[in-house]
Amino acid sequence: MNKTDHTRIGKNAMLLLLLDREEEEWNRHFNELNWSYCTGKIGSMDSQKIVAAIETAAKRSDLVREDLYREMHALYHAIMEALTGVTRGHTQLGEILRTVGLRFSVVRGTPYESEEEGEWIAVALYGTIGAPIKGLEHETIGLGINHI
């Protein structure tokens, strides 16, 4: 990665999902940047369960503090932006007979050279969406980025 790609928080979140690399390599990469991350999987017909799963993973990985409103608020908006991309602007799933099987990543870091820009959080989603019948789904992807 060149210098600008190296510190693009959204690109890093997407690459976590799309590239097959060893966890040790990712740990080394994010440690060099002094960033933190987590990954996980969720399958559901319920948007609320997707939000809850990502929030829980981020809290358990110490990416966000539950008692700090600004951190939870930033995470929520990044999740909703990514979910909106996955669902093409309609975050309804089960109500309209759609289901998703997603992998997710959450990355927290400082993507700008200026310290005053502060920390940012990115949520990336990749997987399938479609009717709740195996084989009737297609790929989908979403990305949300918000400042903390």
143 within 8 A of 121, measured Cβ to Cβ: no
Q: What is the DSSP letter of 103?
A: E
CA 80, CA 132: separation in Å to the nearest integer?
22
Q: Does pLDDT of 9 surpass 70?
A: yes
User: How do residues 114-137 score in pLDDT, each as one tens digit?
Assistant: 989 999 999 999 999 887 778 878
CA 87, CA 101: separation in Å to the nearest integer?
12
36 within 8 A of 109, measured Cβ to Cβ: yes
Q: Does pLDDT of 18 surpass 60?
A: yes
Mean pLDDT for all residues in the chain: 89
Query: Which residues is 129 bridged to in the sheet?
Result: 100, 138
Q: What is the pLDDT of residue 96?
A: 59
